[in-house]
Amino acid sequence: MQAIAWRTPASPADPAPVGLERRLLLSYLAAFSVIFLIAGFAVRVAFLTSLEYQTTTRLEILARAGMRSVLYRGDRYAVDTGEISNAALLAREQGLQWFDDRGRLLGAEGLAPDDASLGSVGRQRLTIGPTALNATTMAIMNPRTHRIVGTVRASESNAQPESEIRRLDIGLLVGTVLGLAASGLGGLALAHQAVRPVARSFRTLREFVADASHELRGPLTAIKSNADVALWDQRNAARDRSRFEAIAEAAQDMSRLTSDLLLLARADRSLERELFAIDLQNVVKKLAARYKPLFEEAHITFVASSSGAAMMYGDVDQVERIVSNLIENALRYTRPGGSVFVEISRHRTQVFVKVQDTGIGIAAEHLDRVFDRFWRAEPARSTTGTGLGLAIARALAHRHGGDVTVSSRPGVGSEFVVAFPTRPPRPE
């Protein structure tokens, strides 16, 4: 088979897949942005909670340590300055303040806020000049009388926690930006990968529509022209008959084409309710008897052989259609004086039907196009048929869990082999 393919050229960029790819990328970015924001917010909240807990614990320990400098005198107390040592007790930017039960400052050590007035017991935010302080005030209870005799306030600068928070925010921001950039690149690759089959389907659909339109245009033109002439010129009954025969033939071509298209559309349905035992030997014998007169008329040698019974499961009409399409293809592209051989064999869990011809062959670069719908391998697409025979054969073979393969050499001939599993295919 000379390989001159007729195809409507596909545009380099399909608007629908490009738009879909863009929408998928935006969806990926939106999803990753939400994930990064939620993760960043969760990390920040967890960090602030941990930092707050550490600060509170540190100040409470410092305040309890400051209570060791207290000397109790009845209902009052005094601060023993000899027990206070910044080097041993206070870290840098920390301080202690002692107050009596009336709020008067009794003593201070280390970093002390400007506001020396006693605040409430618990956590506080104070200042010392431009510096903010975290502070914790605890009550001092006389262990003998069990009465509160004053308070001690531990404080430390908020500069270090704020610096850590700023570093965290910068890290989260940079990490989010880098993460979104990496996600954008990954999302672009994923979107392109996901859209690739869709783009291929768009191209296939566009080519299919163009090819189907081309195939239907001929019969429709014949119907319209012959009907118009018959309606215009009613003087010659014999001529009218030939015109209506042309109309009937064109309508038959259209009916055959639509039947083939419908068969292809249904080829992916499950075979679960159509499984019957089939002897391929009987199928080939039946088809050999049907096509033998056509081969004799075309002066082509036709030989069918079998190595024994070859049982399988499937739809007998569709199995006949697969084999008949391969035989018709060999008949169409084999010249007078050539030969066509049909052979049945079995190997382990598969049965094979081989259709070999000595026809015009197919160029190697076109072998992968042989099973495309409406693709024909002859000049000017001049032979009869819809261009769907081999596409139907492969689609129905796939439906039965098998496949059709081809090997060919230009000027030597072609060999089509259809393989069927002996066991019924599992329903999807």
Q: Give me the tens of pLDDT residue by residue for the chain, a chain 428 residues long.
A: 333 333 334 444 455 566 777 787 788 788 888 888 898 889 889 988 888 888 888 888 888 888 877 877 767 777 776 665 544 566 677 888 888 877 788 877 877 776 666 667 888 777 777 778 888 888 888 887 778 888 888 888 887 788 888 888 898 888 888 888 887 787 777 777 777 776 776 666 666 655 665 666 667 677 777 666 666 665 666 666 676 777 767 676 676 666 666 666 665 666 666 778 888 999 999 999 999 999 999 999 999 988 777 888 888 888 999 999 999 999 988 999 999 999 999 888 899 999 999 998 888 888 888 888 766 655 434 455 667 788 888 888 988 889 999 999 998 999 999 999 988 766 55
- Residue 78 token pair: 């005094």
Write down the pLDDT at residue 206.
62
Q: Per the structure block, which two tokens stand in for 403? A: 């496949």
Q: Could you give the CA distance from residue 378 to residue 189 in angstroms, rounded to a whole number?
A: 40
What gap in Å lies between CA 64 and CA 87, rounded to an integer? 17
Q: Are 198 and 212 in contact (CB under 8 A)?
A: no
Q: What does the alpha-carbon distance between residue 140 and residue 64 come to, in Å, rounded to a whole number?
A: 9
pLDDT in the model for residue 380? 35
Alpha-carbon gap, residue 329 to 340, rounded angstroms: 10
Query: What would the DSSP string read from start to end of 203-230?
Result: HHHHHHHHHHHHHHHHHHHHHHHHHHHH
**SS3 for 234?**
coil
- Cβ proximity of 340 and 334 under 8 Å: yes
| Upper half-sphere CA count for residue 44 (Cβ side, 13 Å) | 18
CA 67 centroid distance within chain: 66
Q: What does the alpha-carbon distance between residue 270 and residue 216 come to, in Å, rounded to a whole number?
A: 30
Q: Which two tokens stand for residue 149?
A: 């005799």
- DSSP assigned state of 251: H
Question: How many Cα neighbours within 13 Å face the side chain of 278?
Answer: 24
Q: Among 411, 413, 415, 409, which residue's Cα sits nearest to residue 364?
A: 409
Q: What confidence score (pLDDT) does residue 211 get?
A: 60
- In this prediction, residue 378 carries a pLDDT of 53
Angstrom distance (rounded) from CA 283 to CA 383: 27
How far is Cα 39 from Cα 291, in angstroms, rounded to an integer?
A: 72
**Residue 413 to residues 324, 333, 340, 372, 424: CA-CA distances in angstroms?**
18, 9, 10, 20, 32
Q: Measured between alpha carbons, how far is 100 from 151 in angstroms, rounded to an integer?
A: 6
- From the list 305, 300, 296, the residue with the least C-alpha distance to 352 is 305
Q: Are 389 and 325 in contact (CB under 8 A)?
A: yes
- Degrees to nearest 5, angle at CA 195 with 191 and 199: 155
Six-digit token pair at 100? 């009596």
Distances (CA, A) of 420 to 127, 193, 403, 406: 87, 33, 7, 15
Structure tokens at 285: 């014998």
Residue 426, exposed/middle/buried by CB under 10 A (0-12, 13-18, 19+)? exposed
**What does the radius of gyration of the chain's CA atoms come to, in whole angstroms?**
45
Strands 311-314 and 339-347: unpaired
Report how far apart, in Å, the C-alpha atoms of 235 and of each of 228, 230, 240 are: 14, 9, 8
- The structure's pTM equals 0.48
Asked if residues 192 and 166 have their Cβ atoms less than 8 Å apart, the reply is: no
**Paired tokens of 186:** 């990954």
* Distance from C-alpha of 221 to C-alpha of 246, rounded to nearest angstrom: 11
